[in-house]
């Protein structure tokens, strides 16, 4: 992801990738330049081998990163841009970055949703927010505030073997007699009550995980980016510089090892569900669980997100649009003035109804 510029063959301006196509387009004269297809296959890399050869692997590249002094995000700027606004917090940034060696991305999903489509989805989302500040709704009308960013992700594959100890619960019914009071009279009633017998259980389950997706950035709220899923990873294409032309890209800040710890967290519910099925019965308790991870492979990929950052009362709120599906997620501020006004109006209406009732 080096600073690479693609010139228009007709007017010499910088070509930009056109979302939803396989072309670079000139924003001035409209000339199109098709992106040549790549025949390379997207290979999974061996996780442990990458850790052993991290210092001299051929999959490393040098990249100039521009760090935001406010939120710490590392982004790239277009070759002809000397200053810009950080897409993650709105802080002005200047192109005076440092060079780092990082693992180059193997694949990406290109932007499919155009800026105008993302803006419409973003505006519709904002209009549905109750008690949002007027400044936020105004920002929703400013399309230039929405920036296309390729975000770094890890994907992990792994085979797991999990040994467990637990308990299997089996339901049974008993009849009990209870004393109850009905209309001031004491009665004895027989009722059926469900109980559970618990039996010891132990065993082993295996699972195969494919493309467990982990955000490799700390610039966006992980919960919100997880809610942007699913991504159509089956449509990943080999990485080419052309797809980034006209967009920003963030460098990964979550290392490969830390990313796999996040992947384990996402695998855990699946593993536990497998254990519960293996235990059987009507209820299950997992008392001990030891998981071994084998044949771990990974990919470094880039996924497209339209981002808008908004400052309100010295706090940063981020809004995101999935660049493939148009799904919108975001953090939202509240206008306490609107809430207070609505509360006063509600109280006035209740007071008026009470007065009318007693009049």
Taking only the tens place, the pLDDT of each residue in 102-130 is: 788 989 999 999 999 998 888 887 776 65
pLDDT at 168: 98
* Chain centre to alpha carbon of residue 172: 44
What is the pLDDT averaged over residues 2-8?
70
pLDDT at 344: 58
Residues 6+ apart with CB under 8 A from 53: none
Q: Could you tell me if 206 and 188 are in contact, meaning their C-beta atoms sit under 8 angstroms apart? A: no
72 has pLDDT over 70: no
pLDDT at 318: 83
- For 286-321, the pLDDT digits (tens) are 999 999 999 999 999 999 999 987 776 777 778 899
pLDDT at 227: 93
- For 143-198, the pLDDT digits (tens) are 457 889 999 999 999 999 999 999 999 999 999 988 888 888 888 888 899 999 99
The whole model's pTM is what? 0.80
Cα(194)–Cα(182) distance, integer angstroms = 24
What value does the mean pLDDT of the chain take? 82
Q: Could you tell me if 222 and 215 are in contact, meaning their C-beta atoms sit under 8 angstroms apart? A: yes
Q: How confident is the model at residue 5 (pLDDT cuts 50, 70, 90)?
A: confident
336 has pLDDT over 60: no
Q: Could you tell me if 16 and 148 are in contact, meaning their C-beta atoms sit under 8 angstroms apart? A: no
pLDDT at 339: 47
What is the pLDDT averaged over residues 61-73?
67
pLDDT at 1: 44
Cα(2)–Cα(241) distance, integer angstroms = 8
- For 217-266, the pLDDT digits (tens) are 988 889 999 999 999 999 999 999 999 998 988 888 899 999 999 999 99
Residues 6+ apart with CB under 8 A from 269: none
pLDDT at 338: 47
Q: How many alpha carbons fall within 13 Å on the CB side of residue 1? A: 37
Q: How confident is the model at residue 348 (pLDDT cuts 50, 70, 90)?
A: low
Q: What is the dihedral of CA 41, 226, 208, 256, to 10 degrees?
A: 60
What is the pLDDT averaged over residues 48-73?
71
For residue 221, give Cα distances in angstroms to 115, 249, 256, 319, 329.
Answer: 22, 17, 19, 10, 10
């Amino acid at each position: 992801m080096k600073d690479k510029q693609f010139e228009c063959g007709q007017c010499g301006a910088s070509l930009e990738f056109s979302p939803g196509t396989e072309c670079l387009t000139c924003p001035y004269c409209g000339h199109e330049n098709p992106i040549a297809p790549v025949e390379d296959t997207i290979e999974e890399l061996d996780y442990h081998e990458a850790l052993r050869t991290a210092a001299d692997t051929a999959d490393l590249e040098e990249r100039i990163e521009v760090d935001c002094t406010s939120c710490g995000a590392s982004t790239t700027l277009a070759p002809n841009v000397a200053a810009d606004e950080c897409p993650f917090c709105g802080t002005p940034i200047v192109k005076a970055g440092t060079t780092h060696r990082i693992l180059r991305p193997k694949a990406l999903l290109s932007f499919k949703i155009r800026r105008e489509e993302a803006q419409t989805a973003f505006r519709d989302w904002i209009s549905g927010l109750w008690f949002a500040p007027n400044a936020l709704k105004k920002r929703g009308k400013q399309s230039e505030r929405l920036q296309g960013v390729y975000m770094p992700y890890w994907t992990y594959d792994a085979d797991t073997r999990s040994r467990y100890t637990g308990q299997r619960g089996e339901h049974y019914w008993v009849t009990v007699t209870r004393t109850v009071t009905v209309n001031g009279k004491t009665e004895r009633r027989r009722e059926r009550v469900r109980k559970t017998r618990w039996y010891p259980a132990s065993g082993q389950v295996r699972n195969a995980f494919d493309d467990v997706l982990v955000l490799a950035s700390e610039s966006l709220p992980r919960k919100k980016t997880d809610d942007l899923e699913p991504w159509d990873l089956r449509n990943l294409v080999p990485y080419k510089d052309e797809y980034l032309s006209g967009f920003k890209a963030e460098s990964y800040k979550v290392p490969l090892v830390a990313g796999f710890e996040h992947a384990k967290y996402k695998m855990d519910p699946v593993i536990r569900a497998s254990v519960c099925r293996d235990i059987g019965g009507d209820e299950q308790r997992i008392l001990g669980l030891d998981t071994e991870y084998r044949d771990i492979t990974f990919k470094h990929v880039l996924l497209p997100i339209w981002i808008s950052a908004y400052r309100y009362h010295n706090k940063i709120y981020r809004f995101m649009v999935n660049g493939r599906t148009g799904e919108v997620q975001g953090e939202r501020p509240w206008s306490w003035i609107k809430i207070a006004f609505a509360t006063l109006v509600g109280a006035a209406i209740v007071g008026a109804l009470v007065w009318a009732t007693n009049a």
